[in-house]
């Protein structure tokens, strides 16, 4: 991938397919590291599935036997000296998955985060019924978005994937990032 924001888009799509109703994307950035955590309350994976999810030739899809999303993220994190972890539960009361990745930003093989605003807007556009909670902590500041708050204002009549709403979300996030720099 050319940008880590594309990996985030890709991994979060797995959470959508897992039937999650809440998906959290947390970025924690310091001068030296970038931590990415994607947390969902989807159907979760068994221990066996978690063990094999790093394998590019593992997928739950039935149409073909290749799943590259998690292995790509793992490779990209490890090539900077970092790594990833996957925790998941299929228990009835507490199912879901957390994927965490740590990147060392000063490593020559670190791939830039890229256009994270487009990733967040594409995710909301594709799955407007899900509660998306996005947080990017950078030094002392942070950019935050919770679609539950937006939905509380919009009510049930207006969907989050209406163009004006998506545009508002993009502009809101861009303003947040402008205020960080």
Partner 1 sequence: MKSLEELAAIREKMKGKVVLREGSGDIRVVVGMATCGIAAGARPVLNAFVEGVNNEGLTEKVTVSQTGCIGVCQYEPVVEIFEAGKDKVTYVKMTPEKAAEVIEKHLKGGEVVSKYTIAAAVE
Q: How far is the CB of 40 from partner 1 (least distance, A)?
A: 16
Closer to partner 1 by Cβ: residue 27 or 70: 70
DSSP of 86-99, one letter per residue? EEEE--SSS-EEEE
Phi, psi of 46, rounded to the nearest 5 degrees: -75, 165
Site for partner 1 in 143-162 (CB under 8 A): 149-150, 153-155, 157-158, 162
Q: How far is the CB of 49 from partner 1 (least distance, A)?
A: 17
CB–CB of 132/105 below 8 Å? no
Report the length, in residues, of the chain.
181
Site for partner 1 in 10-49 (CB under 8 A): 10, 13, 17
Q: How far is the CB of 95 from partner 1 (least distance, A)?
A: 21
Q: Does residue 9 belong to the site contacting partner 1 (CB under 8 A)?
A: yes
Cα(173)–Cα(146) distance, integer angstroms:
11
Question: Which residues on adjacent β-strands are paired with residue 87?
Answer: 98
> Please, what sign has the CA dihedral across residues 111, 84, 178, 127?
positive
Q: Does residue 166 belong to the site contacting partner 1 (CB under 8 A)?
A: yes
Q: Which H or E element spans position 67?
A: none
Residues engaged in binding partner 1 (CB under 8 A): 1, 6, 9-10, 13, 17, 61, 63-64, 67-69, 72, 115, 118-119, 121-122, 125-126, 149-150, 153-155, 157-158, 162-166, 168, 171-172, 175
């Amino acid at each position: 991938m050319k940008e880590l924001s594309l990996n985030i888009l890709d991994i979060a799509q797995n959470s959508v397919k897992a039937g999650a109703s809440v998906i959290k994307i947390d970025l924690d950035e310091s001068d030296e590291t970038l931590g990415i955590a994607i947390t969902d309350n989807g159907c979760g994976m068994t221990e066996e599935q978690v063990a094999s999810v790093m394998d590019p030739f593992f997928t739950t899809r039935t149409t073909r036997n290749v799943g590259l999303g998690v292995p790509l993220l793992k490779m990209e994190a490890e090539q900077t000296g970092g790594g990833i972890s996957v925790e998941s539960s299929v228990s009835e009361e507490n199912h879901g998955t957390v994927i965490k990745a740590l990147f060392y930003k000063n490593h020559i093989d670190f791939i830039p985060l890229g256009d994270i605003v487009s990733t967040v807007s594409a995710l909301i556009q594709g799955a407007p019924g899900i509660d998306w909670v996005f947080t990017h902590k950078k030094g002392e500041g942070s950019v935050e978005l919770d679609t539950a708050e937006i939905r509380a204002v919009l009510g049930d009549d207006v969907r989050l994937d209406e163009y004006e709403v998506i545009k508002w979300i993009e502009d809101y996030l861009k303003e947040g990032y402008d205020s960080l720099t």
